[in-house]
Structure 1
Amino acid sequence: MPESPGTKPSVLFVCVHNAGRSQMAAAWLTHLAEDRVEVRSAGSDPGERVNPAAVAAMAEVGIDISAEVPKILTVDAVKESDVCITMGCGDTCPVFPGKRYLDWKLDDPAGQGVDAVRPIRDEIKTLIEGLIAEIAPAKPEATA
């Protein structure tokens, strides 16, 4: 996926409010891929803050997203990303030739309690693990 050797692939997660699904996805990718992927997230109509149930659900797995702030989706963010993953934002995400677009059908955690957000969190983790295996697989350990 990277255009030249040594270039990290970049992923943009987009949902409407950038307060739940896209924040959890960005946190999972950052956590699981470590420094192998550049990660962005944004919303077509950003909320005022990250969903407290999403913050709580991620904290349960040792990932702190409490300091994250919803961000507005910009054309530049899409242009600078190799993969754009939408999560319920419909047609509001700009499309550019040469980019890869995926649409993940996930329940919206807005207005849900942490019990309802856990399965969404876990589904996102599974999707992220598959994405990492595809775009940024771990380098094999050197053998002695």
Structure 2
Amino acid sequence: MSKPAVLFVCVHNAGRSQMAAGWLRHLAGERIDVRSAGSEPADQINPVAVEAMSEVGIDITGAVPHILATEDVRDSDVVITMGCGDACPIFPGKRYEDWDLTDPAGQPIEVVRQVRDDIRARIEKLITELDPT
């Protein structure tokens, strides 16, 4: 069986989706294919999100916001949206989840840390569902 592919989508692909992708890569390693995209990508990653992730030893500085393409959704097994709602195309047979997370844009580091930790808990649950080993 091929490894599952997870796509994280938020509007700017600069905070929540990048932190989620960072956590999933860190915690699942090569067992899960990780993608992220945005319906209206920003020109760079949120520096406070980068700082919050670096505090837990995860480097997302190399990540670049990416425009959401239909192929991204079609080629993923699980699509997790974070406040982009109807911007995401729907394909039959895919698993869709919407994570209601605070947008870290413009928030102080204390708030971004809470978002980071909330995302980690959701990622840990997702990994156990996708890869029980």
TM-score class, shorter-chain normalisation, is over 0.9
Instruction: Kindly provide the amino acid, as one letter, of the partner of residue 89 in structure 2.
Output: P
Structure 1 stretches of 5 or more lacking a match? 139-144
Larger Rg: 1
CA RMSD of aligned residues (A): 0.6
State the distance in 2 between where 1:67 and 1:115 align.
23
**1:106-121 superposed matches below 5 A:** 106-121=101-116
Task: Using the aligned pairs only, state the percent identity.
Answer: 64
Does residue 125 (structure 1) correspond to residue 124 (structure 2)? The answer is no
Equivalence for 2:6:
11
**Using the alignment, how far apart are the partners of 2:131 and 2:21 within structure 1?**
15
Gaps of 5+ in 2: none
Distance 1:123 1:29 in 2: 13
1:34 alignment partner, SS class = helix
TM-score, normalised by the number of residues in structure 1: 0.91
Q: Secondary structure of 1:35's partner?
A: helix
Give, in whole Å, the separation in 2 of the partners of 1:136 and 1:75: 25
Q: 2-side partners of 1:90 and 1:102: how far apart?
A: 10
Which TM-score applies when normalising by structure 2? 0.98
Which one of 44, 52, 75 corresponds to residue 49 of structure 1?
A: 44
